[in-house]
């Protein structure tokens, strides 16, 4: 029916209702009484059906259900628009200022009744996804004094009222990232936030809400995710009557941005999705959206990588790296990444950040000979950088002590002995771009691991006319530098890291195709980290390292096969000291890497089914299926054996063609698609702790 064609927007002038159509869902909003109201988010109703829906109910003395509530009138929830005009007035009062539809993009404009401020609500839908992108823009339409903007959310989402709501999100810290949290949403406000200038580990900028009845495979789930890598806030508000709103955007409190006459300020995207089919279906939809519409170089296979950090720490030099590179190449590694310690006076974390030239004692002839050797071995070369940071003990800081975030008469708090460069300053941003561009021009570097190891403190900018811009401009300039580097060096690929997984978000994923979710490579811990990561972000972005045994972080020993099998669930990497691995293990690792390279297209670009949730003493099982159902990969891991778990029951596979037969690529055994789908696959998971198994099945015939 053309009226509900995916990727389009319909407008009913009679009721002032717009309906946006995603792949199979619709989103409705209406202009009424000087505001824009939410009316529908769910399965695709016709434009007439949505136009006939009522406005959201009020909560006796509170206005609810606006698409972007401002301050003023009976509004007592979290304001999504907070401004202060020159005369001290803070509230806003809107009048309609037109709308614009362009394919799947809708812009609804409002103007303040008295003051020179225009607000635009933007929406975008696409035919191949139910993810709706929303963002906001404000414009100073006058010629006089600036308007102080303290809050401008990207969107506020309204969910249907219900007697029970449950919230899912991830929380953690460095080395324990992406732990899945599920909790009843109670009356009041619940905020996920980072005030640290960077996304950081504590919570990640997405959440999911269900009615408490959703499972991995069943139930409706509403989810939202913010595309921003600086400070951020997502507040969920629930009334006693069970109405829920979720508002979110960049920043959290702090100084205002002074919007100058003629100036526009645009927020990042806050994307939303309503889906049936439980948490699994929600994750698959997000994964497909990220792959199709967010990532650069999305369709490429991510190379098997090696990273020197776990093996060497800061102790790197040309001879040692050559030796490791030689071993890595024999194991089938395709990208060799030299981590921290290669530059300036960097022999530990106390010095050198900011002095981005190869350390003469360690790399006497620069990086060229090592890069040439890595290329000769058939691998790409990657290099660690932390461009937003400086050690006070560095030539850069001695020359430019004013380039860091700081405040007059205040201490400069050091974390990891480093300070944050003020990337909001155009001269600092330009300098940063220039040294990176020179490094990439002078050296055939294929990949940068872009790290960021501390939060902002004393986030001031003495002398700036508008220091409140700092938080936003730092992140925008970060994105802009990466984009310029990519444009100038088209083969360059970027890995996002921030003390492990501290800067994973839809914003960064628009500029970096790979992340490093955690420095903890212990496979037992990684099972939960990977499950939390994969709630929103796809396997193709998830750098998954297999390190040494015992593990460098936890001290726990693990068989090589288990370490590799767990890491095969994402973009596989190796990170241990290969020099210490017995030759028998190196041979085994080479065989496992070769097996990974066979399953890689399915793991990295297929659909993920979490057949059994992450657990320590039960088998965790994940399955990946290619888009055409011709190939599937099953990975099962069990950290601790309990007697009742020695015989794992059959596990029913998903997404296969029941009328086809599938052959096990390694062992040649044949299976009926119908049996795998309805009865299941016997995993044959070996007994014992840290047991794992890999199945790779390919369709052979269609009956
Ligand atoms: C923190 C990262 O998470 C590590 O992987 C490593 O790159 C170190 N920084 C280097 O200082």
pLDDT tens figures, 100-146: 999 999 999 999 999 999 999 999 999 999 999 999 999 999 999 99
Non-local (6+) Cβ contacts of 672 within 8 A are 658, 661, 662
Per-residue model confidence as pLDDT tens digits over 256-271:
899 999 999 999 999 9
* Token output for 582: 């017995």
- State which ligand 1 atom lies nearest to the alpha carbon of 500: 3
Q: pLDDT higher for 610 or 62? A: 610
* Average pLDDT of the chain to the nearest whole number: 96
Say what the pTM is: 0.97
Q: How far is the CA of 576 from the centre of ligand 1 (A)?
A: 14
* Average pLDDT estimate for 416-434: 98
* Average pLDDT estimate for 188-214: 97
Per-residue model confidence as pLDDT tens digits over 341-390:
999 999 999 999 999 999 999 999 999 999 999 999 999 999 999 999 99
Band (pLDDT 50/70/90 cuts) for residue 441 is: very high
Q: Whose CA is nearest to atom 11 of ligand 1?
A: 340
pLDDT of 1: 44
pLDDT of 545: 94
CA 636 to chain centre: 25
Question: For a pocket test of ligand 1, which of 307, 382, 497, 517 has the largest count of ligand atoms closer than 8 A to its C-beta?
Answer: 497
pLDDT of 2: 56
Q: Percentage of the chain with pLDDT > 90?
A: 93
Of the residues 153, 210, 355, 451, which is catalytic? 451
- Residue ranges around ligand 1 (CB below 6 Å): 309, 339-340, 384, 451, 453, 497, 499-500, 516, 519
pLDDT of 394: 98
* Average pLDDT estimate for 588-594: 98
Q: How far is the CA of 291 from the centre of ligand 1 (A)?
A: 26
Non-local (6+) Cβ contacts of 365 within 8 A are 318
* Distance from C-alpha of 126 to C-alpha of 209, rounded to nearest angstrom: 23
pLDDT of 146: 96
* Average pLDDT estimate for 159-186: 97
Given a cut of 90, whether residue 59 has pLDDT beyond it is no
Q: How far is the CA of 340 from the centre of ligand 1 (A)?
A: 7
pLDDT of 56: 82
- State which ligand 1 atom lies nearest to the alpha carbon of 349: 11
Q: How far is the CA of 397 from the centre of ligand 1 (A)?
A: 21
Q: Which residues of 197-207 are buried (b: 16+ CB within 10 A; e: fewer)?
A: bbbbbbbbbbb
- State which ligand 1 atom lies nearest to the alpha carbon of 499: 3
Active site residue 451: yes
pLDDT of 206: 98
Non-local (6+) Cβ contacts of 570 within 8 A are 517, 530, 533, 539, 540, 541, 542, 543, 544, 603
Residue 466's SS3 state is: coil
Active site residue 437: no
* Distance from C-alpha of 134 to C-alpha of 234, rounded to nearest angstrom: 14
Q: Whose CA is nearest to atom 1 of ligand 1?
A: 499
* Distance from C-alpha of 54 to C-alpha of 627, rounded to nearest angstrom: 40
pLDDT of 617: 87
* Distance from C-alpha of 134 to C-alpha of 18, rounded to nearest angstrom: 14
Per-residue model confidence as pLDDT tens digits over 522-574:
999 999 999 999 999 999 999 999 999 999 999 999 999 999 999 999 999 99
Q: How far is the CA of 498 from the centre of ligand 1 (A)?
A: 7
Per-residue model confidence as pLDDT tens digits over 503-535:
999 999 999 999 999 999 999 999 999 999 999
Given a cut of 80, whether residue 646 has pLDDT beyond it is no
* Average pLDDT estimate for 217-232: 98
Per-residue model confidence as pLDDT tens digits over 19-40:
999 999 999 999 998 899 999 9
pLDDT of 34: 87
């Amino acid at each position: 029916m053309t009226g509900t064609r995916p990727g389009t927007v319909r407008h009913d002038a009679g009721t002032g209702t717009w309906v946006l159509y995603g792949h199979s869902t619709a989103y409705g909003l209406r202009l009424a009484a000087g505001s824009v109201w939410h009316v529908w988010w769910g399965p695709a109703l016709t434009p007439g059906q949505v136009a006939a829906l009522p406005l959201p109910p009020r909560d006796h003395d509170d206005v609810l259900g606006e698409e972007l509530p401002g301050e003023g009138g009976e509004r007592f929830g979290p304001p999504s628009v907070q401004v202060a005009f020159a005369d001290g007035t803070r509230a806003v009062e809107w009048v309609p200022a037109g709308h614009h539809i362009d394919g799947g993009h809708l812009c609804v404009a409002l103007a303040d009744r008295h003051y020179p401020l225009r607000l635009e609500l933007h929406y975008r839908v696409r035919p191949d996804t139910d993810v709706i992108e929303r963002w906001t823009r404000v414009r100073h339409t006058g010629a006089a004094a600036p308007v102080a903007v303290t809050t401008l959310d990207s969107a506020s989402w309204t969910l249907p009222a219900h007697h029970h709501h449950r919230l899912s999100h991830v929380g953690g810290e460095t080395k324990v990232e992406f732990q899945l949290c599920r909790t009843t949403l109670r009356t009041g406000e619940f905020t996920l936030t980072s005030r640290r200038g960077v996304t950081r580990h504590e919570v990640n900028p997405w959440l999911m809400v269900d009615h408490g009845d959703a499972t991995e495979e069943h139930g409706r789930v509403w989810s939202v995710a913010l595309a921003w890598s600086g400070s951020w806030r997502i507040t969920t508000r629930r009334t006693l009557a069970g109405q829920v709103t979720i508002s979110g955007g960049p920043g959290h409190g702090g100084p205002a941005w002074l919007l100058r006459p003629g100036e526009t300020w645009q927020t990042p995207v806050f994307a939303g999705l309503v889906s049936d089919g439980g948490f699994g279906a929600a994750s698959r939809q997000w994964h497909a959206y990220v792959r199709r519409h967010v990532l650069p170089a999305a369709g490429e296979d991510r190379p098997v990588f090696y990273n020197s950090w776990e093996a060497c720490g800061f102790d790197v030099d040309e001879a040692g790296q050559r030796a490791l590179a030689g071993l890595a190449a024999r194991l089938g590694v395709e990208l060799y990444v030299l981590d921290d310690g290669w530059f300036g006076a960097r022999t530990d974390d106390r010095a050198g950040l900011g002095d981005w030239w190869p350390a003469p004692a360690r790399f006497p002839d620069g990086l060229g000979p090592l890069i040439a050797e890595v290329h000769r071995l058939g691998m790409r070369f990657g290099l660690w950088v932390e461009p937003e940071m400086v050690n006070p003990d560095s030539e850069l800081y001695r020359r430019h002590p004013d380039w860091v975030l700081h405040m007059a008469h205040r201490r400069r708090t050091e974390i990891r002995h480093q300070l944050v460069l003020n990337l909001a300053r155009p001269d600092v941003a330009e300098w940063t771009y220039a040294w990176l561009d020179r490094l990439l021009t002078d050296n055939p570097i294929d990949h940068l691991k872009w790290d960021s190891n501390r939060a902002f403190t004393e986030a001031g900018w003495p002398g700036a006319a508008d220091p409140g811009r700092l938080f936003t401009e730092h992140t925008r300039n970060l994105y802009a530098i990466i984009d310029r580097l990519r444009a100038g060096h088209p083969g360059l690929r970027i890995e996002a890291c921030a003390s492990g997984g501290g800067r994973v978000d839809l914003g960064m994923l628009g500029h970096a195709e790979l992340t490093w979710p955690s420095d903890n490579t212990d496979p037992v811990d990684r099972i939960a980290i990977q499950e939390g990561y994969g709630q929103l972000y796809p396997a193709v972005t998830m750098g998954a390292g297999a390190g040494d045994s015992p593990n460098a972080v936890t001290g726990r020993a693990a068989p090589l096969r288990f370490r590799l099998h767990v890491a095969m669930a994402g973009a596989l990497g190796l990170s241990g000291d290969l020099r210490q691995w017995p030759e028998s293990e190196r041979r085994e690792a080479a065989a496992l890497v070769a097996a990974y390279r066979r399953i890689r297209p399915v793991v990295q670009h297929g659909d993920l089914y979490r057949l059994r949730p992450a657990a320590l003493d039960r088998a965790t099982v994940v399955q990946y299926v290619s888009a055409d159902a011709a190939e599937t990969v099953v990975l099962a891991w069990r950290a601790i054996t309990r007697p009742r778990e020695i015989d794992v029951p059959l596990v029913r596979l998903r997404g296969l063609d029941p009328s086809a037969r599938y052959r096990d690529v390694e062992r040649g055994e044949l299976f009926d698609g119908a049996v795998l789908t309805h009865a299941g696959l016997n995993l044959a998971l070996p007994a014992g702790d840290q047991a794992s198994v890999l199945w790779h099945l390919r369709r052979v015939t269609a009956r």
